[in-house]
Amino acid sequence: MRKTICLILTVLAAAGCGPKGKNAGLLPQEPDYSKENMWYRTEGMIMDKDVDVFYVTPTCVWSWQDPTGNTIYYMDTENPGQRAATDISTRLGYELFRKSCNFFSPYYRQITMECWFGSEEEIERKYAVAHNDILKAFRYYMDNLNGGRPFFLAGHSQGAKAIIRLIEESLTEEQYSRLIAGYAFGFGISREELEKYPHLKPAEGSVDCGVTVCYNSVSSPEAISPAFKDNAVCINPVNWMTDGTYAPASLNKGSVFFHSDGHSDTLFNTVGARLLPEMNVVQVDGLDDEDYYIPSIGKIFPKGNYHVQEINLYFLNLQENIAERSEAYSKPEK
């Protein structure tokens, strides 16, 4: 899988990594979500399902400079290179959900990779812009695109942060009643958040609804990201248990890695997983950490941390679970 990871890194770098400039904090143009080009589209996309997903893409661009040398810490949603970088990750989400859901994913002014190396206060200050875009996109989706259908919220990394906050702060009771589940891949939820926000309910099994699925994967406890040290939520995405019951590789139906040309590689029955309840993290085996380590983000995701691959590792199990939760929601006794 090393080829796949290297390809992603190459695209990320091409999308805007450069030396620091002046006037950091300038903003690209705000997206207009009434325009079709502000929503991800791909060949063959068909919107004929009874269920939707609102999907938020992870961090995919580095800081970049505008023509006058200003350093920009946000994605330019009109920039073809930056859109191409995010499309690689968004395609992964699309492939995951497309069998069960109509797929809606907005381009937004996500904060760039370097932002995550700063203080929590600085991250939150910059992220406010990104989340304002997501909130506007979600409201547009609800008012104009959803049509009253049940839906999932899903996101990876920065996208997971976004959907957690939507669940915490932005769903009406009527909207929450139609939320099948939230999938927050690769992020943390604190105990304080659980106590404060009644809509934020951790998943406890494979078919509960109105819940949030959250997990982070490492090969050893030493690889846990400092960014998620206060995480209080985790479920094993192979056996859907919240205790330490080991899920052997034989239960992992397939880890799927997509290439930019649309082709994919699948590792069948390769990755085993055990939840470590005292740390709220999933410990995996069956992989060579070196093949998946990304030095450029090693400061927050050390070797043995599988943050970038949180969806890939359990792809076929997740795809099956999305269908199972959709079916469970549709039952009258839900």
DSSP state of 142: I
Cβ–Cβ under 8 Å, residues 111 and 123: yes
Per-residue confidence (pLDDT) for residue 174, from 0 to 100: 98
Residue 234 is encoded by which pair of tokens? 């985790």
State the DSSP string of 115-127.
GGGS-HHHHHHHH
pLDDT of residue 25: 60
What phi, psi does 111 have (nearest 5°)? -75, 150
pLDDT for the residue numbered 3: 36
pLDDT at 262: 77
Amino acid at 319: Q
Q: Tell me, what's the pLDDT at 332?
A: 62
Size of the chain, expressed as the number of residues it contains: 334
H-run or E-run covering 318 = helix 315-330
DSSP E strand boundaries for the chain: 52-56, 64-65, 71-72, 102-104, 151-156, 179-185, 211-215, 217-218, 255-258, 264-267, 272-276, 281-285
Is residue 284 within 8 Å of 317, Cβ to Cβ?
A: no
Q: What is the mean pLDDT of each run of 10 residues along the chain (334 residues)?
A: 40 41 71 98 95 98 94 97 96 98 99 95 97 99 99 99 99 98 98 98 98 98 92 98 98 94 92 98 98 95 98 99 98 64
| Other CB atoms within 10 A of residue 251 CB | 15
Q: Residue 200: its pLDDT value, please?
A: 98
Residue in 214, 210, 202, 177 with CA at minimum distance from that of residue 318:
214
What is the sign of the dihedral through the CA atoms of 75, 81, 83 and 84?
Answer: negative
Q: Buried b / exposed e across 24-46, counting CB within 10 Å, b at 16+?
A: eeeebeebebeeeebbbeeeeee
Query: For residue 127, what pLDDT is reported?
Result: 98
Give SS3 for 303. coil
pTM, whole model, 2 decimals?
A: 0.93
Nearest 10 degrees: Cα torsion 168, 169, 172, 178: -30
